[in-house]
Amino acid sequence: MATKPMTKTQLVAALAEEMGADKKAAGGALDAIIAVITREVSGGGAVTLPGVGKIYCRERPERMVRNPATGEQIQKAADKVVKMTIAKALKDSVNG
């Protein structure tokens, strides 16, 4: 069974250890990376994280969906969804 996901605090601590820097610098670096990814993807672009994958925004067309409570068919407007394609290197490392 999978364990709990790593929290931001744990990620910052691990990043600080890996960088050989303090937690404040690691937290600032992580926040800056998140801000850049958010800005780029929300603007319609894509960001490739080498060895991890590609994060991008995809538009979904207008479609018919079913309300599970009532069974009623309703029209759902077109929207955007954030997707991530995982890099082959990461897939290979997980699969051994």
Q: What is the rounded CA–CA span in Å between residue 72 and residue 43?
A: 34
**What average pLDDT is seen over the chain?**
93
Average pLDDT over residues 38-46: 94
The yes-or-no verdict on residue 1 having pLDDT over 80 is no
Tokens for 70, please give them: 């009532």
pTM, to two decimals: 0.78
- Residue 84 in contact with residue 58, Cβ under 8 Å? no
Instruction: Please give the pLDDT value at position 2.
Output: 63
Q: pLDDT tens across 55-73, in order?
A: 999 999 999 999 999 999 9
DSSP assignment of 21-77: S-HHHHHHHHHHHHHHHHHHHHTT-EEEETTTEEEEEEEE--EEEE-TTT--EEEEP
Tokens for 47, please give them: 């960001």
* Tokens 């790593």 -> residue: 6
Instruction: Please give the pLDDT value at position 96.
Output: 81
- Domains belonging to the chain, first-starting first, are 1-43 (no CATH), 46-96 (4.10.520.10)
In this structure, are strands 53-60 and 79-86 parallel, antiparallel, or unpaired? antiparallel
